[in-house]
Amino acid sequence: MTLLVAGIEGETAWMVADASISGGNLQVRDREIQIKIVRAADRKALIGFAGDQHHGTRFIEQARLLQSGPNVVDALLQWHREFRSVEFAYAYQGSDRICLVRIADGISKRVLTLHLGVGFSQFQSIRHRRKVDPAPRAISQLYSAGRSIDNPPEQLGIALRTMLYLFAERRDRDVGGFVLPYYLTQQEAFLLNYGYSVSDPILPQLRPGARVPHGTAALGGFSISLTELGIDEGIVVYWLQKPGGIVFLREGSGYKELQIHGTPSKAKSYVFDNLGKNIDLWFNELDPNEPLDKALVVHDSQGKPAFAIGQHGRNLTMSALNTSTEFYAKAHIELTPATQDQGRNCKPSGGSAAGIAARVHLPIRVDALIAKLASFRRKWFR
């Protein structure tokens, strides 16, 4: 099953989907992973699907090779009418605005928002509730970074966070895997790189100013990193508590999967040894003696100090300053590029550490979401 949600915010379209293949006779532990959103080859459109995995994957891969525009809507509609078991979402650069089209129920329709698949009512319930509640007595953090000149759309970050919470709370387990978030501007389409982590239930034992450690699988901690490999070369997904992940290598008609195992440093070494490529992860083994270069104190909505972000070279750490009351806080930070590669700056990203190749140097959006919250006992991966 699938949940895909998309919308238009200002002059930007955004699209998120889960990556789980479920249903039929598949048990939860036998569930597979599938990329359900792709960027057009000319980088001017996004194509996503819900429904039949075989036909959906085949058709979005064909669509991505077409010249972006209304002609792709016609092709998607024809395929949908031939196979009603698959529905599509398509965002493209129109002549004067970004267009979003829903292809389902035998018709195509331009819309401002859309959803496909299952679980949307619960998604909306989580999205609109006032209290953020993924884990009891824990600290959750969401870091995100885009390669666009402008910041990624705010609604995309909200949808990303909501989908992550949905994975933990949905009893049917028919959506999951990881969240794949994209957005489309008047310039081109971009993947939103992100790192999300939930600590162990360390509050209120954590002392104000103490560094927040990575969570552990034994006590319910969870950390996921999603980053782009190079420029259109693939996607890297890594679970810190597993520990391991998948490198999705872009090929002509889809993705080839490479399983990676071990700690972040071992996973990076394995990929380099086997592919000759460097990958970026939002998490790393930080040397406790590494000196602090910069620190940023972030305040909550009441103006009280909430947490501090420390920069240690290309690594980031977070220290909680408010350990007694529930709060929500956000920050935007800018880090100096570490290297340059063929005119493209490389900038560090958040979590405990990482660097993402970027076309230009610009602020990195960091949403640090912190809370003392409700039950979180289901396993995030099998």
At which residue do the structure tokens 């006992």 appear?
Answer: 377
Max CA distance (Å), the chain: 61
The predicted pLDDT at position 267 comes to 95
Give kind and range of the element (H or E) at residue 270.
helix 264-275
pLDDT in tens, 292-323: 888 888 888 788 888 888 887 777 888 888 87
The predicted pLDDT at position 293 comes to 82
Where residue 378 falls among pLDDT bands split at 50, 70, 90? very low
Q: Which of 46-55, 159-168, 209-218, 328-337 bottoms out in mean pLDDT, i.e. has the lowest?
A: 328-337
- The 10 Å CB-count burial string (b at 16+, else e) for 189-209 is bbbbbbbbbbbbbbbeebeee
Of 36, 53, 24, whose CA–CA distance to 248 is shortest? 36
pLDDT at 35 over 80: yes
Following DSSP, what letter does each residue of 127-175 receive, concatenated? HH-SS--SSTT--EEEEEE--SSSPPPHHHHHHHHHHHHHHHH-TT--S
The predicted pLDDT at position 81 comes to 97
The domain ranges of the chain are 3-118, 131-367
Would you say 196 and 178 are in contact if contact means Cβ atoms under 8 Å apart? no
The architecture (CATH level 2) of 3-118 comes to: 4-Layer Sandwich (3.60)
φ/ψ region of 113 (left if φ > 0, alpha if ψ in -120 to 50, else beta) reads beta
- Which is higher by pLDDT, 46 or 357? 46
Q: How far apart are CA 32 and CA 150, in angstroms?
A: 35
Where residue 188 falls among pLDDT bands split at 50, 70, 90? very high
